[in-house]
Each structure stands twice: as C-alpha cells, then as structure tokens.
Amino acid sequence: MFKFQVDVPKDPIVSIQTTDKRGFTPDEIAERCVGKLIDVSDGAHPAIRDQAKAFQKHMEKVVAFYMREAIRSDRTTVYNALIDAGHPKLAELIRRL
C-alpha cells in the first residue's frame, strides 16, 4: 500500500500585502525583504533574540537606503532615455519626481 504524508508548516508560506492607490515605499519593501532574510525564534535566549531584532531593524534601514538609491538611478536612466528619444519635457517631469 502507498502511504503519503505531507508536513504543513505552522507559519504561512505566502502572505499578501496591498496598498491603496500607491505602490509600496522602500521602507515597506525593506521590512518585507529583511523579514524573509533574517528570522529569530521567539524561544531563543533573550539576549540573542534582542540582538537579532536590533540587527533586523538596522538591516531594514540599510536595504531601504539602497532601494532609494536604485530608484534614483533608474529615474536617471529613464530621464536620459527620454532625452535621447526627443522628449525633453517628459524627461523633466520624470526628473522632478
């Protein structure tokens, strides 16, 4: 006889987050990213748990900073592409975002 067993994780595998009439901010995305990268058990030694949570908060700031840098860099790329395509007014609108 064939026996099939599935272990279902206690924590959800998928979560859904939405916004209303806007995209996610770099801070919101950084929090989600770090939550996937760094995790610590609630049952861990309090000193280790507190240190890991502090590290998570620091990493959220680092990730958000570099996400903002990437956004600025991408806008520069779009600006230059629009200038090259002969759309200086549209390029200027993008630059001001």
Q: Is the pLDDT of residue 45 over 80?
A: yes
Give the contacts of 97 (CB within 8 A, at least 6 positions apart): 75
User: Phi/psi at 89 (nearest 5 deg)?
Assistant: -65, -45
> What tens digit of pLDDT does each residue of 1-12 get?
677 777 767 777
Q: Rounded to an integer, what distance in angstroms lies between the CA atom of residue 32 and that of residue 37?
A: 9
> What tens digit of pLDDT does each residue of 28-44 get?
999 999 998 998 888 88
Cα 92 to Cα 19, 22, 76, 82, distances in angstroms: 27, 22, 10, 9
Q: Is residue 68 included in any domain, yes or no? A: yes
Q: Is residue 97 included in any domain, yes or no? A: yes
Q: Is residue 31 included in any domain, yes or no? A: no
Give the domain extent around 94.
62-97
